[in-house]
Each structure stands twice: as C-alpha cells, then as structure tokens.
Structure 1
Amino acid sequence: MYKFRILHPNAMTRLRLQPVMHGMAGLLFLFNVIGAYKLENPNWPIVVLFVIMGLASIAFPFMMRRIRKFGEANSILRMLQAFTLMSGCLYFLSHLQPIVGTTLFLAGLGLAYIGYAEYRILQPAFVRIDENGITLPTLFSTRHVRWNEMNNVVLRNDLLTLDFRNNKLLQLEVLDDISPSQAADMNSFFSQHTS
C-alpha cells in the first residue's frame, strides 16, 4: 500500500476565488451599514461592527501574503463573518425587516459553508493506493476508484496522473519527497494493476 500527501484537488480553484469572496463579504457588510443606520433608531454598535467587518474583509486579501498562519487567520475571519451575518439577521428581524434578515441568514450559512470548505482544503490531503484501487480526498469524505476504472496511472516529476476509462484526466501535485527508485516501484505497481 502506498500513501502520500498531495495538494487537494480543489485547492487552486478555491484559493483563486478566496480574495473575491472576502471582497464580496466586505461589500455585503458595508451595504448592511446603509440599512442599519437608516432605521428610525439606529443601533450604532451594530453600524460600527458592520463597518469594521466590511473594511477587515476587504483588506484581508491584500494582507494574505504577509500572514504566516494563513489557514488559521482565514478560518477565524470566515467564522467572524458568518457570526456577524447571523447577528445582523437577528438585528434586522427584530426591526421587522424579514427580507433583509432572511438574506443575511442565507449569506451567513453560505459563508459558514465556504469557511468549512476552505478549512478542509487547506488541511493535508492524502492519496492511498492499494490492491483494491485508489482512494482520493474529496471535500467531505473520500472517493474510492477501482483499478478497472483506470486506463493508466503514472507518477512522474511530483505529479500523479490518473487517466480514467471515461476519458477524464486528473493530475495531482505530490507534496511528499519521493525518490526516483520509489517512483519506479510505484509506476510498476500501477502498470500491473491497470493492464
């Protein structure tokens, strides 16, 4: 059985969208500022909270490269965004604004899901290869692919290439250091099971 660490298959797409999602959350908070202070009796602490969260969310993508523990900082900001949206939901519902409250509730759920997905993607992901097939990481669990579903599997230059019989191709970046002799052993094992 072989087991090695890879870059999660969805990581690059999610990481490219991350600044956009933080910016959109920031804009949502700033739009909520308008709704919060236009009420008859505005709650100024809520207005200030929305302004702070909006500016922090917009500024976070520009500070991402300077943060050493990026995954932890991102998870904390996502939790704060979701919590603030849920709090804003309660605030607007208590002021008889059900459409805004429901929208904030749904946005809070969406940001909580995005935060969980980003947390899972930034965790170490492993591929397991044995006599029964290949086990790949997914967002919530794992996916097992049997050998009879594969045309070819090759490990070369820190890239694991999976060629499926249904004409799909998946390339995964290997993060562990695998020596050329180990890679040759793995490739021979793969060719025995795919032919």
Structure 2
Amino acid sequence: MHKFRILHPNAVTRLRLQPVMHGMVGVLFLFNAIGGYRMAQPNWGLVGLFIVAGLASLALPFQLRKVRKFAEVNTLARLVQAFLLLSGCLFFLSHMIPFIAFLLLCAGIGIAYIGYAEYKILQPAYAVLDTSGVSLPTIFAKKLYPWNELNNVVLRNELFTLDFKNNKLMQLEVLDEMGPVEAAEINDFCEHRLGKRADQ
C-alpha cells in the first residue's frame, strides 16, 4: 500500500468560488439591513449589525490573502455568517415576514454547508493506493476507484494522474516531497496492478 498527501480534488474549484460566495453573503446582509430599516419600527442595532457584517463579508476575500491562518479565519467567518443568517431568520419570523425568514433559513443552511466543505478541502488530503484501487478524498468520505476502471496511473513531476477507461482524466498536485526512488516504486506498483488486471 502507498499513501501520500495531495491537494484535495475539489480545492481549486472551491477556492475559485470562495470570494464570490463571501461577496454574495455580504450583499444579502446589506439587503437585510435595508429590510430592517424599512420596517415600521426599525431595530437600529440589527440594521447596524447587518451593515457591518455585509461590508466585512465583501472585504474579507481581499484580506484573506494576507492572513497566515487562512483556513481557520475562513471557517470562523463562515460560522459567523451562518449564525447571523439564522438569527436574521428568527428576527424576520418574529416580525411576521415568513418569506424573508425562509430565505435566510435556506441561506444559513447553505453557508453552513459551504463552510464545512471549505474546511474539509483545506485539511490534509491523502491518496491511498492498495490492491483494491485508488482511494481519493471527497467532501464527506473517500471514493475508491477500482483498478478495472483505470487505463493508466502515473506519478510524475509532482502530479498524480489517473486516466480512466471512460476517457476522463484527473490530475492532482502532490504535496509530499517525492524522491525518484519512491516515485518509481509507486509507478511500478500501479503498472503491476494494471498489468494484473490486463492479464485477467
């Protein structure tokens, strides 16, 4: 069996969408501030909180690049966003505005899920090669790709490439330091497993 650290398969897509999602939450907070302001008896404390949270969410993607503990700060921001959205849901529900309350409930649950997904992809991820196939991490668990679904598996130049029989190609960045001997051992193991499959 071989095991080495990789960049999570969903990391690139999620990290590209991250600034957009923070921006959308920020805009939603600002709309909530407008909704709170236009009520018959505005709650100025809540309106101010939504304005601050909205502006902070809009500015956060630009500040995250400068932070060392990127994963921790992003996870904390998602928790605060989800909490504020769910709290806003209760506020608007108590003021008999069920449509806005339902919208904030859905947004709060969605942001909580996005926060969990981002937390998972920023954790150390590993590719595991054994006799049954190649195991790669997903958001909630691991996915096993059996050898009989693969045409070729190669580790070269810090890239781990899986070539599937259905013409799908997956390339993952390897984060562990791989010497030529270790890389050759992994490639030999893969060739052996694929060779056994071909012989059968």
Instruction: Please classify the TM superposition score into its range, dividing by the shorter chain length.
Output: over 0.9
Q: Which residue of 1 aligns with 2:123?
A: 123
Q: Does residue 83 of structure 2 align to residue 83 of structure 1?
A: yes
Q: Distance in 2 between matches of 1:161 and 1:62?
A: 33
CA distance in structure 2 between the aligned counterparts of 1:185 and 1:16, rounded to whole angstroms: 34
Give the distance between the partners of 2:169 and 2:40, measured in 1 at CA. 59
Name the residue aligned to 2:198: none
Cα distance between partner residues in 2 of 1:59 and 1:185: 47
Q: Equivalents in 1 of 2:62, 2:141: separation in Å?
A: 32
Over residues 142-170 of structure 1, what are the superposed CA-to-partner deviations in whole Å (9 max), with x where a residue is unaligned? 00111111111000000010011111111
Q: Which runs of 4+ in 1 moved over 2 A?
A: none
Q: Distance in 2 between matches of 1:89 and 1:130?
A: 48
Is 1:9 the counterpart of 2:1? The answer is no
Aligned equivalents of 1:77 and 1:101: distance in 2?
21
C-alpha distance in 1 between matches for 2:39 and 2:11: 42
Q: Which amino acid aligns with 1:46?
A: L
Amino acid at match of 2:70: F
1:43-192, aligned counterparts within 5 Å?
43-192=43-192
Deviation at 1:186, TM superposition (A): 1.0
The separation in 2 between residues aligned to 1:21 and 1:35, in whole angstroms, is 21
Count of paired positions? 195
Distance 1:13 1:104 in 2: 25
Q: Normalising by structure 2, what TM-score?
A: 0.96
Q: Residue 9 of structure 2: SS of its match in structure 1?
A: coil
Distance in 2 separating the partners of 1:89 and 1:28 = 12
Tell me which amino acid in the other structure corresponds to 2:58. I
Q: In structure 2, what is the Cα distance between the partners aligned to 1:83 and 1:14? A: 21
Q: Deviations over 1:49-91 (max 9, x none)?
A: 1011101100101111111101000000000000000000000
Unaligned runs of 5+ in 2: 196-200
SS at match of 1:66: coil
Return the alpha-carbon distance in structure 2 between the equivalents of residues 178 and 62 of structure 1.
Answer: 34
- In the alignment, structure 1 segments of 5+ residues that lack a partner are none
Question: Which piece of structure 1 moves more, 77-86 or 144-153?
Answer: 144-153
Shift of 1:117: 0.5
TM-score by length of 1: 0.98
- C-alpha distance in 2, partners of 1:137/1:115? 17
Identity percentage of aligned residues: 60
Q: Tell me the equivalent position of 1:41.
A: 41
Question: Root-mean-square deviation (CA), in Å?
Answer: 0.7
Opposite residue 32 of structure 1, the aligned amino acid is N
The code of the aligned residue for 2:170 comes to L
